[in-house]
Amino acid sequence: MSNTSSYPSSDRLQRERTERVAHLNDEVRRGNDPRARILFTRGVVDLLAESETTETARHARVAINQRLLMQQIVGAAIEPGDDPYGERDFGVVKFLDERIFWKIDSYAADGTFSFGSDAPWDASATTRVLTILLPSEY
């Protein structure tokens, strides 16, 4: 007679994996995942530039606003309707009077960003990409 109590049920295993994915996604938003990539779309960069026209001023304004926007994304509450699977991989913030979306995608850690990760709960098998975009770019 085997003891199956030492093996997690499929529901428990799924919950543990979901919690692990959520934790790893939180680490990306906090900037604590050195393997992750953060991508700001062209529309967001233009918004962050706040109409600066000279190259130096534009770069400075974008850098300052990127930092402020990331602080807001880190601290933002994630609405249940935006997180149906509990993975904390999508959210909305308001910045410079505009709604801005952020989303996290998990890719196989092969450097190509061509295929989704088969094990997004496994940090060694996954590269995450945090994309920050305008709703019109979704």
C-alpha distances in Å from residue 8, one per residue of 50, 87, 91: 52, 20, 31
Q: Say how far apart CA 131 and CA 45 lie, in whole Å.
A: 12
Q: Where are the domains of the chain?
A: 9-137
Of the chain, the percentage scoring pLDDT greater than 70 comes to 94
Q: Within 10 A of 1 (CB to CB), how many other CB atoms are there?
A: 3
Each residue's pLDDT tens digit, 50-68: 999 999 999 999 999 999 9
Q: What global pTM score does this model have?
A: 0.89
User: Under the phi-then-psi rule, with left for phi > 0, alpha for psi from -120 to 50, and beta for the rest, what region is 128?
Assistant: beta
The single-letter DSSP state of residue 98 is E
Q: What are phi and psi of 37, to 5 degrees?
A: -120, 145
pLDDT of residue 5: 56
Q: Read off the pLDDT of residues 75-110 as tens digits, 9 standing for 90 and up.
A: 999 988 999 999 999 999 999 999 999 999 999 999
